[in-house]
Structures are given as C-alpha cells and as structure tokens.
Amino acid sequence: MHYRIFSTADTYVNSGSNLITGESFKDQNFGQDEILELKKVYFNNDFEYQTRVLINFQGPDFSEISQSIVNKTINSPKFKLRLFEANGTTDVSTNYSLGAYPISSSWDEGIGRTSDSPKTTTGCSWENRSYYAGAAPVTWSHDDGLARHGVYFYTGSGYEASQSFTYTSPDVDMDVTDIVTRWLEGSNNNGFLVKFSGSHEQAALSDGSITTGDLKFFSGQTNTIYAPVLEVQWDDHLPATGSNTGSLLPVTMSGLNDMIVTMKGLRESYKDTERVKFRVQTRPRHIQKTFTTSVQTLTGSFIPEGSGSYSIIDIATNETVVPFSPYTSMSCDDTGNYFIQWMNGFYPNRKYKIQYKLNFDDNQEVIYDDGFEFIVRQ
C-alpha cells in the first residue's frame, strides 16, 4: 500500500530584509502562498538572508494511521516526505543536501502572502511561532524559555532525515521514518522543518566556495495535484501461498504465454471515503482446446506469489500516484487476486488508471495498460 496524507499547514520563514526598501521579512508571514521558498540570497557575493520551510500533517488521516499501527493492522510502515518542484523555478548548486527535523513547538500557518502590502504578520515568522494583532507575539523558544529565531527544532539520533542531490530532480522524496516513529511513540508532532542541511545552509563552505540555493515547491494552497504529502508505505498483501489460494491453480508464468489481464467489478467512480478491493483476473490469451465427454469449464487461477504488482496513474498529468514497488504486490484469496486501496489518499474529482506488471519466469516484465480507469468523487 502507498497512502498519501496531505499537508494540513505549511509556510516558510525568512531571515532577511528587502534589498531595495530595507523592510524586514523577519516578522512577515507567508502562510497562504502557493509556493514554499527554500533559498539563500546573496548580494555582491555577500550572504544576505535565508528561508526555511515548515510543514505539518496533523489531522484525522495521520491519527487514523497512528491508531492502525497501534492496533497492528499496519505493520512496519515506512514514511516519506514528498515535495514537488514548481517547474522551471530552481536555481541551485549541482551538489547540495536538504534536511528535515521535527519542530519543537506548535506554530500557526497564518494568513499572509508574499505580495501583501502592507505585509502581513499574523501567524508564524522567522521571529515568532505565533502572532495576532493586539496580542503579545509568541517567540520560538524551548524549555529554557530563551527566545530563538528561525524555528526551534530537535536534532540528534532519530530526529534527523536528509536527502542529497547531484544533478537530479529537486523533488523531495525523503525517508522520515525515524522522525515519525518518534511522534508515534509519544513525542509531540509539530511537523517538519526543511532546510539546507549542515554546511549547505551557511554563507560559504569551509573551502570558501559559495553554494547557491533557490528552491520553490508547491504548497498546500496550490491548485495543482502537487501539494506536500507524507507518503505511508506498508506491505498489506496476503501471500498467494498455502490455504490462501483455496482450490485455485497458479497461472504458468512462461515467457511463451500471451496473457490477458481483466478486472472484475471495476466501477466508473468511487467515493473518497471508500476502501476498495480491486479484483484482478489473469489467463492465457489462447486456451488449448481438449475433447472430453463432459462439459469443459475454465478452472480458476491466480498469479503466483511475487509475480504481479500494480500501479495507479493520474490520467490528466500522467503522474504516477502509486508506483510499482515492493509495497504494491497483489494479494490472493480463494477467489483470486486483488489489492486494496484507500481512496482518501487521492485527489477527488480526477480520473485515474490502473496498470499491472507481470514478472515471467524468463525475467521478462510486461506492463498491462488496458483502460482500467476510475474517478474518485468527493
């Protein structure tokens, strides 16, 4: 299973000032921007300021995953932080790394935009984790009560995640399992801080070289399908072995077989509250004829364990929402093959298609893209 939890709050904070007007960004809020900016700004080769990104995934979807883990209906999950580049906006060194860290205190997303004039200070900023007009600002601080700027966060074993980039897409696909596990074990979940990691956030490296950085990712306010997500991955498949398969017979996975993949009961649309069991049937395209004194029937069959998996694609964008992976192996019971998908991990009112991959005995892989389409309705 690949299941996506969408961000419930996100923004970025800025340590600098406008290079033309001198107006400070340190108390400005950007909570309603459609873009999350992660950058370092230089002027005449001198470092001026930096930004950091905050993302939270609190809400019923995360709580449900947490409870499922407690109930052991989900075992050994992996968690990935996914951020998607706003196309064509990146200006960054060819080698850099990003880090994600758990934020120590709660914070308010806010109501500000970059374009606001006068600037909006309601919400969190570089200086404050919360501010509302007429109230005293709540600064970033920890147990010692000392005010800090730029978001206070935890570090150390189990509190850090990172991803390195070298001539690759700036899309973030970061394993944050250790951090989320801390939350599930009782640490406060205040979301992630994302920043350039280590020396890459400094004005210059130890050898005196300057690393540039101007990354832009879609925020939860985007009108695209590229909002930040926390992707949960776990193995939920029922193996096609032993008594699970009943009286079914395995399909012969010879590379000489021309196979047909069909779906039983595929509907045109599903509600985003459903958990759907998709049924899959497979057989050779040409069935060998035999002559008997009784009526011939087709014996039920199943795809052998480890030989079949699925993927789900957003049709309009051709983006892969659920990839072929060790977490998308097909299950099997005494009726045949199937897989289960939670529909609330998909954007509603969009059309998707299912692809299947069969692995044959001669190491041949064949992908079946035969018009298995459905819409998720809100």
184-190: Cβ within 8 A, 24+ apart: 184/66, 184/69, 187/102, 188/104, 188/106, 189/56, 189/57, 189/58, 189/62, 189/102, 190/56, 190/102, 190/103, 190/104, 190/105, 190/106, 190/107
Q: Where does the pLDDT of residue 96 fall: very low under 50, low under 70, confident under 90, or very high at 90 and above? A: confident
pLDDT at 335: 93
pLDDT at 146: 57
pLDDT at 210: 62
Query: How high does pLDDT run on average in the chain?
Result: 90
Q: Where does the pLDDT of residue 168 fall: very low under 50, low under 70, confident under 90, or very high at 90 and above? A: confident
Element (H, E) at 66: helix 60-70
Q: Where does the pLDDT of residue 252 fall: very low under 50, low under 70, confident under 90, or very high at 90 and above? A: confident
304-342: per-residue pLDDT in tens? Answer: 999 999 999 999 999 999 999 999 999 999 999 999 999
| Residue that the structure tokens 């497979």 belong to | 282
Is-contact 330 309, C-beta < 8 A?
A: yes
pLDDT at 10: 98
The yes-or-no verdict on residue 169 having pLDDT over 70 is yes
40 vs 372: CA distance, rounded Å: 46
Phi/psi-derived region of residue 324, left when phi > 0, alpha when psi is between -120 and 50, beta in every other case: beta
What domains can you pick out in the chain, each with its CATH number? 2-233 (no CATH), 242-377 (2.60.40.2840)
Q: Is 46 helix (H, G, I), strand (E, B) or coil?
A: strand
More confident residue, 81 or 285: 81
pLDDT at 353: 98
CB within 8 Å of 328: residues ≥ 6 apart: 1, 2, 309, 310, 311, 322, 339
pLDDT at 149: 81
The yes-or-no verdict on residue 292 having pLDDT over 90 is no
pLDDT at 144: 55
pLDDT at 298: 45
pLDDT at 296: 35
